[in-house]
Structure 1
């Protein structure tokens, strides 16, 4: 009896083992394979998001740069809203910088997401391409994919696992959707993937048919470990692993998640006419930078917000009308500038100005400012005033020495006395003015140009060997009355400063 039971148990074990061996050749379910291909398609389209971000950034950066370039010409006009142009220039610069910083972060994360997703898609496509092999026109000859119904499966079901998906850039509008799908990375589990026994050589007898009829060791790892087949494992042991066991899929998921965590690029209306300028002033992103610009330019202790910001905006741009336009937007829209086009003079509206016309306007202003600066007195080192010449003449006692001076004459006073005095008429006849440069010998001449001396020591050295000063170093005031600091005081400073600031601000773009 015992022997009979033992034999029966032995037969059951043999039958069980035989059944296990026979069951060790299951196919992969069609729905699971199609799901993998859908993921692959989304992975291949992650690059569309990176490209869309780059294109959006390019459009906004070019638009902001063009707008700021136009704003430069406001420095050439007296407007009813003098602070408006400066506020918009600074705010535009801040927006430009914000977009650059955001773009830099998105490119860094987008590059990683694109690389990892493309790699993962390649691993999926290779796996599906291997198990989808067939010897005739339908899937009935395929032993590794189990159709959802019947023995056939259309090739179109696996179209997403083709490289041609990379070329379908028309779906850029859904770029966010593709990244979201990769971040989710919904993959089929073991139960959803394991099909019926179908003599698939990848699963049959632990892969012995793949290499010389021997079990593959240490393991088969398709899609970087998503499907793991060890020499002794059967379908009873799950071969479809969690996504964390596949570095390729896991890295793509993580990179896509990180890309989605990055704030989206700000959407900013680019001012190209009065309507878009109104939208720009109402844009929350732009308004925030305008508030920052106001704080800096007006040196406020805190950032203007809410009612304070409203007051500042109304002061700088004028109060809005019912359609949210402001006096400044009307003024800017009405501004016209004289430009030459093909030799003919014409008037061009502010928003229609082209870069070459802006250059022309600024060049004319720069030229005019330079002309003004060249006509201004260089007050750094000047000839002493008329009173100093009078003192010089009065110090001369001999008539011959006095009369030898181009600006002195020995005269007889009403009381009968004679003395040497400054003769302005003689000075003019001899070509000597109060501000004309003198010779180092003390007599008037062409030898010394006081304005050439660029420091106080050199300036005063020109007086050596003279009975009176030839050159003098002016004080803080233009008339030399303030001697507290002996600082350089140039009449043309304000002109030159404006010129330098205009050129520097324009050239930064």
Structure 2
């Protein structure tokens, strides 16, 4: 608790007031310090808008995989470029949030110290400033209270000036504070400066030193106005830290301003944006496996090849095609056609779900056809290898016949095979005797499929794509079609769900 006691006797000539202009300058700095948070908030809002827009555009691009277009590479290039832009903004935002948080915290703290100091020296008993001897008005005996309004905490809550947020950070980075000469007023009766501060605590010399604004104003027990009490900014950690943090925030590159494609016009702007065009060039390099990043005339050639040559208004054949694309979707049970740029997320999910279903149906059919009966030529060879007529005729698809030259031989009989119900999915039992067959399509792997041939003169089941003699196994050129479909399906769904 401070006890103010007046000393009898003559006062030392060290009781000067603080000049109004210097105090107002401090309050202006305080106001800017309290508005640093506006810059951080503005960056966050801009990033949010761009990230949401890029995510929505990339989601729409997913549906291009379901259509055959005149510009097949365009969708992939835009999708990859959009991902790169998204990542760039995220990285930039992380850095700005880290530096912005420090700048906001240090600036707010410094502003509080300034406001507290000014609130103390601005106290007056009544009437005009002539009765308050700690602030010396620039003109006359008084100053308007509005001059000190910037040192009120309510300034912190004002957001109307968010558009000028960067100017506040710049002002804090500059931290133009008044020096000792600009601050020291005429001799008054300010108890903060009178008699070396002895009037503050029971008329005794103050120890340790008084430090306002964390050392900006330092009053030692023995110092007078002859010794500068207003110190350089470096002597006040509060002011110095705020200045440094604001400077670091300003050194961070500004967030890129990118047109978000929501219609053909904005897509045209997107393709012409330097920031987006740079990421498009990176995407082209990766997708086309170029040795260098396409630039200048090479980039122009690549863009014209992928998106078509621009017209006088910068539109391209691809932008026209995309704008004209319509997709069948169900809305409240009724089918309707929705334009590409008007697609909603649930409609995109519906389109992809239909593609997924179709691909699964194809995969199922391919799985059934994967393991098939060998060609008719193989059965012919099997029949021709039989010499005994009884053995030949016992086969459901062989008959012992007499040729025109009088010779007899065992041959494949397609009519008999049909009558006996031998289909392309039915095999003979081992030992050459007729018996109940099994479906080759029941075998879901190559080993099981080929095992069905054991005990037979020739193969009755074969893995799709393999030569009839079983020799072509190098690289498995036939591939597993259902796996390819499922893999494509999985990649499509995974790419979509990441957003």
Normalising by structure 2, we get a TM-score of 0.90
Is 1:131–2:89 an aligned residue pair? no
Please give the alpha-carbon distance, in whole angstroms, between the structure 2 residues aligned to 1:46 and 1:157: 21
1:460 Cα offset (Å): 3.2
Instruction: Check 1:14–1:48 CA distance in 2 against 1; reply closer, same or farther (3 A cut).
Output: closer
**Which segment is superposed worse, 492-501 or 296-305?**
492-501
Contact 1:268/1:286, CA 8 A, preserved across alignment: yes
1:164 Cα offset (Å): 0.6
Instruction: Check 1:464–1:149 CA distance in 2 against 1; reply closer, same or farther (3 A cut).
Output: same
Q: 1:99-178 residue pairs with structure 2 within 5 A? A: 99-178=89-168
Please give the alpha-carbon distance, in whole angstroms, between the structure 2 residues aligned to 1:47 and 1:88: 35
Please give the alpha-carbon distance, in whole angstroms, between the structure 1 residues aligned to 2:15 and 2:477: 96
1:139 Cα offset (Å): 2.8
Please give the alpha-carbon distance, in whole angstroms, between the structure 2 residues aligned to 1:364 and 1:408: 47
Please give the alpha-carbon distance, in whole angstroms, between the structure 1 residues aligned to 2:32 and 2:288: 50
Aligned residue for 1:4?
A: none
Instruction: Check 1:438–1:72 CA distance in 2 against 1; reply closer, same or farther (3 A cut).
Output: farther
Contact 1:442/1:468, CA 8 A, preserved across alignment: no
Instruction: Check 1:29–1:13 CA distance in 2 against 1; reply closer, same or farther (3 A cut).
Output: closer
Pick one of 448, 458, 481 that aligns with 1:468: 458
Please give the alpha-carbon distance, in whole angstroms, between the structure 2 residues aligned to 1:202 and 1:328: 75
1:451 Cα offset (Å): 4.5
Q: Which runs of 5+ in 1 are unaligned?
A: 1-10
Instruction: Check 1:265–1:172 CA distance in 2 against 1; reply closer, same or farther (3 A cut).
Output: same
1:288 Cα offset (Å): 0.9
Please give the alpha-carbon distance, in whole angstroms, between the structure 1 residues aligned to 2:398 and 2:25: 108
Pick one of 59, 70, 74 that aligns with 1:69: 59
**Which segment is superposed worse, 435-444 or 325-334?**
435-444
Contact 2:123/2:132, CA 8 A, preserved across alignment: yes
Contact 1:317/1:328, CA 8 A, preserved across alignment: yes
Count residues with an aligned counterpart. 499
Instruction: Check 1:396–1:25 CA distance in 2 against 1; reply closer, same or farther (3 A cut).
Output: same
Instruction: Check 1:16–1:63 CA distance in 2 against 1; reply closer, same or farther (3 A cut).
Output: closer
Contact 1:478/1:491, CA 8 A, preserved across alignment: no
**Which segment is superposed worse, 404-413 or 470-479?**
470-479
1:410-469 per-position Cα deviation (integer Å, ceiling 9, x unaligned): 445445555544332333334433344666787777775545555544443343444443
1:328-376 per-position Cα deviation (integer Å, ceiling 9, x unaligned): 1112112222222222222221111111122222222222222223223
Contact 1:44/1:118, CA 8 A, preserved across alignment: yes
**Which segment is superposed worse, 128-137 or 436-445?**
436-445
1:65 Cα offset (Å): 1.1
Please give the alpha-carbon distance, in whole angstroms, between the structure 2 residues aligned to 1:339 and 1:39: 58
Please give the alpha-carbon distance, in whole angstroms, between the structure 2 residues aligned to 1:151 and 1:479: 114
Please give the alpha-carbon distance, in whole angstroms, between the structure 1 residues aligned to 2:143 and 2:258: 49
Please give the alpha-carbon distance, in whole angstroms, between the structure 2 residues aligned to 1:103 and 1:201: 49
Q: Which runs of 5+ in 2 are unaligned?
A: none
Instruction: Check 1:381–1:216 CA distance in 2 against 1; reply closer, same or farther (3 A cut).
Output: farther
Aligned residue for 2:411, secondary structure, equals strand
Instruction: Check 1:40–1:374 CA distance in 2 against 1; reply closer, same or farther (3 A cut).
Output: same
Please give the alpha-carbon distance, in whole angstroms, between the structure 2 residues aligned to 1:499 and 1:152: 79
1:464-502 per-position Cα deviation (integer Å, ceiling 9, x unaligned): 444443433455789977333346613445544543333
Instruction: Check 1:460–1:150 CA distance in 2 against 1; reply closer, same or farther (3 A cut).
Output: same
**Which segment is superposed worse, 376-385 or 235-244?**
376-385
Please give the alpha-carbon distance, in whole angstroms, between the structure 1 residues aligned to 2:312 and 2:342: 26
Contact 1:381/1:453, CA 8 A, preserved across alignment: yes
Instruction: Check 1:394–1:48 CA distance in 2 against 1; reply closer, same or farther (3 A cut).
Output: same
Please give the alpha-carbon distance, in whole angstroms, between the structure 2 residues aligned to 1:188 and 1:444: 110
Contact 1:179/1:256, CA 8 A, preserved across alignment: yes
**Which segment is superposed worse, 492-501 or 191-200?**
492-501
Contact 1:409/1:422, CA 8 A, preserved across alignment: yes
**Which segment is superposed worse, 248-257 or 487-496?**
487-496
Please give the alpha-carbon distance, in whole angstroms, between the structure 1 residues aligned to 2:88 and 2:41: 19
Contact 1:384/1:469, CA 8 A, preserved across alignment: yes
Instruction: Check 1:77–1:210 CA distance in 2 against 1; reply closer, same or farther (3 A cut).
Output: same
Aligned residue for 1:50, secondary structure, equals helix
**Which segment is superposed worse, 278-287 or 205-214?**
205-214
What CA RMSD, in Å, does the superposition of the two structures yield over aligned residues?
4.2
1:252 Cα offset (Å): 0.6
Contact 1:380/1:488, CA 8 A, preserved across alignment: no
Contact 1:406/1:427, CA 8 A, preserved across alignment: yes
Instruction: Check 1:464–1:361 CA distance in 2 against 1; reply closer, same or farther (3 A cut).
Output: same
1:408 Cα offset (Å): 3.4
Please give the alpha-carbon distance, in whole angstroms, between the structure 1 residues aligned to 2:311 and 2:271: 13
Contact 2:327/2:340, CA 8 A, preserved across alignment: yes
1:158 Cα offset (Å): 1.1
Q: 1:210-289 residue pairs with structure 2 within 5 A? A: 210-289=200-279
Please give the alpha-carbon distance, in whole angstroms, between the structure 1 residues aligned to 2:352 and 2:6: 93
Normalising by structure 1, we get a TM-score of 0.89
Please give the alpha-carbon distance, in whole angstroms, between the structure 2 residues aligned to 1:214 and 1:454: 99
Contact 2:378/2:468, CA 8 A, preserved across alignment: no
Please give the alpha-carbon distance, in whole angstroms, between the structure 1 residues aligned to 2:332 and 2:148: 62
1:61 Cα offset (Å): 0.8
1:273 Cα offset (Å): 1.1
